[in-house]
Structure formats: C-alpha cells, structure tokens
Amino acid sequence: MRRFLPICAIAVALVGGVACSHTSGPGSSAKPTAFGAALVESSGGKQTGGVGAALAQPVVVQVNDDQGNAVPNALVAMRGPAGVVFDPAAGLSDSSGQFTTNVTLGFSPARYQLSATTATKANKAVELKIEEIGLGYQQTLGSQLNDQYCSRCHNSESTPERVSNYDNLEVKPHPFTEGDTLNKMSDADLTSIISFGGPALNKSPLMPPYGYTLTKAQTQALISYIRMVSDPPYGVPGVVHVEK
C-alpha cells in the first residue's frame, strides 16, 4: 500500500521550496487555514505534449469538503516522475478552492502519472492521480499526420481549424483514443487498414487506403501515436507508463 505524506511532512517540503525530489519550481511557505476532504480534477488532465515541453494548458485541481463544497486556503502539493517540473510545485487553493500549476513533461515519450496531494483536518493525506501524455519525435510526427489526414473523420469534435465529418458518415470511425477496440488490433492489422483501407480487414469501405500517400515510416509513426493515446492504455512493451 502506498504511504502518503502527513501534512507536517508536506509543509516541511514546501518550506524547502519543492514538493518532492522530482518536482521543481517555487514552493509556498504559506500555512493552510482550511482543510479539505477530497481533490477533484478541474481541467488539464489527459493532455498530449512534446517531451521536455510545457503542456499547452495548466493543470487545475479543486479542494472540496465532505459535502462537495469548495475549500479555499487549503495546501496542495504536486508530485511527479523524474524530469517533470511544476510551476508552482505547491501552494494554497484560491477563493474558488482551486490550485493551478503549469507542467513541463520529462524527456522520455511516456504516459506520465502525476499526483496532487492535500491533507484533511485529521492529518490524513488525500491524493488525486492525473495522467499526461508525452510525445517523442515519432509520436509527434504521428500526431501531425493524424491532424492532416485522419482527425476530420476519426474525431467527432469540430474546431475553428477543422470541421468534423464524423456525423456525416454512415459507419462511424473509431476515435484513436478508443483503446477498447484498437488495442485488440495488432500493428500489422493497423498497417493493413491504413495502407489498403477498410476492406483489408472486412471493415467499411469508407476508410480509404493511404498506402500511396504515407511512407512506411509515416505509417509506423501514426500507429505509434495511436498506441500512445489509447484509453485504456495499450499494455505492451514499447508504450511506457512513468509513475515514479
């Protein structure tokens, strides 16, 4: 069973300027005047970003009491694997009960397991797990190819830059995050359907072939991206899950 830091240990770490050996950025010597019972993610989880780079959006967590009400002035500390940087690494929740931090990922392509910790009035640690996805060179190329060729049909959400065609298709394509389906397909299966279209695996002909559009290396990059963003995670060697 994982052991959590009591609030006194968290406070000592904050006075030293960091929440743990794997985080950096300004800490907080401010003392909490309130204590919560739960932490919830407000925004910023499940982002994808380049390794060694700051995520596009900050991570925002909220401290609540046992009735679900926001708790201002509660101490929150962030922890993460080696190489992950939080700015700030710790501090007090604001008037809406929220704590905001900017996250820079480590230098390995991986799914990064981060955690936010606060303490109850009874000095019991409460932890919230947050996952972020770091893309290496190959996965970043795959992400770019997805934006160029795939997301218009495989992503149901429209943006100002891209209008989705998903709702116009009689047979709905699988989102690349749909691990329950795509994780069951081998890399060879994905290569076949990308290269030769849906009929290669007895799927819908609405999936066109890209064998004359994408090189072998580009196809492999697209598959690497699909494996990294799948939810639930793709559980074979080659996709790294960093927790410590």
pLDDT (tens digit, 9 = 90+) per residue, 78-107? Answer: 999 999 999 999 999 999 999 999 999 999
Examine the domain organization and report whether 152 and 122 are in the same domain: no
pLDDT in tens, 188-224: 999 999 999 999 999 999 999 999 999 999 999 999 9
Domain count, the chain: 2
Domain finish residue from 82, 116, 135: 135
Mean pLDDT over each residue of the chain, to the nearest integer = 87
Examine the domain organization and report whether 109 and 22 are in the same domain: yes
Distance CA 153, CA 150 (A): 6
What pLDDT is stored for residue 7 in this prediction?
39
Q: What is the mean pLDDT of residues 40-67?
A: 97
Evaluate whether 225 touches 146 at the Cβ level (below 8 Å): yes
Q: What is the mean pLDDT of residues 36-49?
A: 97
pLDDT in tens, 228-237: 999 999 985 4
What pLDDT is stored for residue 11 in this prediction?
39
Domain finish residue from 83, 104, 135: 135
Element at 229 (helix H, strand E): helix 216-229
Is omega for the bond preceding 58 within 30 degrees of 0, making it cis?
A: no
In a domain, 244, yes or no: no
Domain membership of residue 32 as a residue range:
7-135
Examine the domain organization and report whether 28 and 113 are in the same domain: yes
In a domain, 210, yes or no: yes
In a domain, 16, yes or no: yes
What is this structure's pTM?
0.80
Examine the domain organization and report whether 26 and 122 are in the same domain: yes
The rounded radius of gyration (Å) of the Cα atoms in the chain is 21
Examine the domain organization and report whether 116 and 207 are in the same domain: no
- Give residue 92's Cα distance to chain centre: 23
In a domain, 192, yes or no: yes
Examine the domain organization and report whether 128 and 153 are in the same domain: no
Examine the domain organization and report whether 88 and 165 are in the same domain: no
Examine the domain organization and report whether 55 and 88 are in the same domain: yes
Asked whether residue 238 carries a pLDDT value surpassing 80, the answer given is: no
Q: What is the mean pLDDT of residues 123-132?
A: 96
Domain finish residue from 135, 166, 186: 135
162 band by pLDDT with thresholds 50, 70 and 90:
confident
Classify 10 as helix, strand or coil.
Answer: helix
Examine the domain organization and report whether 45 and 89 are in the same domain: yes
Examine the domain organization and report whether 128 and 145 are in the same domain: no
Say which residue, 25 or 42, is predicted with more confidence: 42
Examine the domain organization and report whether 131 and 197 are in the same domain: no
End-to-end CA distance of the chain: 15
